[in-house]
Structure formats: C-alpha cells, structure tokens
Chains A and B, each alone.
Chain A
C-alpha cells in the first residue's frame, strides 16, 4: 500500500513569506501529526489532527497552523517565515486515536528560509 506522501520534498522561501506543506496519509488512516526536525532541537511535535479536529498542539507560535480535510489529507501553514523555521517537516499518520506503534512517517519536506 502507498505510504505517507509529503509534498513538496524541498522548498526554498524568503523571510516574511508564507508556506503551505501537504501530507497525504496512508489510506484509511484518520490521525495525522506534524513534527519539526532541526539539528539543535531534534524532533518536536507541532500538532495532531484526528477526523478533521485538532487534538493536540505543541509549543509553537501561532504562525504555525494546520488543518485536516474530510479525506484525512492535511496541510500545515507557516506565515511570516523566519530563518529559524528552516527545518525538515515530517508528517505521520496512524489508523487509530492512540496508535503510536502504527505511526508511519513520510519522508518529509525540507524547508529552507533565506
């Protein structure tokens, strides 16, 4: 079966711009979570959506937002980009509400802010 698909794979943006990243979960998976990976901070939780509702949110500023559609696809948006937002953004999907063992990650979107 197809895995978690994240688009685009690479992105270069300028400070002050906004960006939208997309994630298509594994078919049938209803939970989608987003993580930011940076060399200094490691993997940090951004937010989780389940059945179009945000269930958890990490400690990130309001410039980071997301949403989930009825087909479980998810997008995350970062407005007013800062240099520190340069990171690998990872999406993970799961079948059930507490399915951490069945958590499948995509390959990520590498965002570079210049």
Chain B
C-alpha cells in the first residue's frame, strides 16, 4: 500500500521553462510534506517543505503547493536549469511519527540546455 505516490517516473523540460513535479498521498494523518533532490551516489538533499496549515511555500526558484482536499502536492521550479537534473522525491510525515518519512518513488527530472 503506497501511501505516497509520484506517478510520473520521469519528466523532461527545456532550460528556462517551468518544471512541475506532482505527488499524491492517501494518509490523512500526514501533516508535513517535503521535497528532496537526489543525485546518483549521494544522499537526498532537502529542498523545501510545507506544513498542512499552509497551501503554498516559496523559496527562490522552488514553490510547493498543497491541496489538502485532493491530497495532492506539487513542486514548481521556475526557471529550470540544467543543474536541476536529478531525481526528486516527495515525502510525508505524520504528527505521531517522529522523524519517520514516507517517500514517493521519485521522478527523474531532465532539464535540457
């Protein structure tokens, strides 16, 4: 039972355009959501997070949107750069789960110059 899903295994975008990565979840107890970026042979790097009391959080080129009624979140990267090419994971945490994160399967983003 996958509680966090990223339905697009890969995404290809032209440099300078917007990248939109999507994530769906099923567990209503999740109240904190995060996005991580991962390069091969490295651990995931934290990008941005959002609490369930918000519907949007912005940090530079990265914006995360949360739609609680749809149990859906998305990460927007504007403008996309070739260095953004990596695997992106969304993750979720519940209030009673300490630091346990439930990860989606990841989306490989390729930004073409």
Give residues in A with beta carbon < 8 Å to B. 4, 31, 33, 35, 42-45, 48, 50, 55-56, 58, 90, 92, 94, 97-108, 110
Contacts and interface: CB of A to CB of B under 8 A. Distances in A.
B106 A56 contact: no
Contact of B46 (A44, A58, A103): A103
B89 interface: yes
Contacts of A48: 98-100
A92 B100 contact: no
B22 to A, nearest CB: 16
Nearest to A33: B99
B103 interface: yes
Given A43-B89, A101-B49, A90 B100 contact: no
A99 B105 CA distance: 22
Interface of A: prevailing SS? strand
Contacts of A99: 99
A92 B100 CA distance: 10
Contacts of B102: 45
A58 B102 CA distance: 10
Interface of B: prevailing SS? loop
Interface footprint category on B: 20 to 34
Given A42-B105, A43-B89, A100 B44 contact: no
B70 interface: no
Contact of B45 (A94, A102, A105): A105
A97 B99 contact: yes
A114 B45 CA distance: 30
Interface in B54-101: 89, 91, 93, 95, 97-101
A31 B44 contact: no
Contacts of B93: 98, 100
Given A43-B89, A56-B97, A98-B98, A105 B105 contact: no
A45 B43 contact: no
B43 A108 contact: yes
Contact of A42 (B32, B97, B100, B104): B104
Contacts of B101: 33, 35, 43, 45, 100, 103
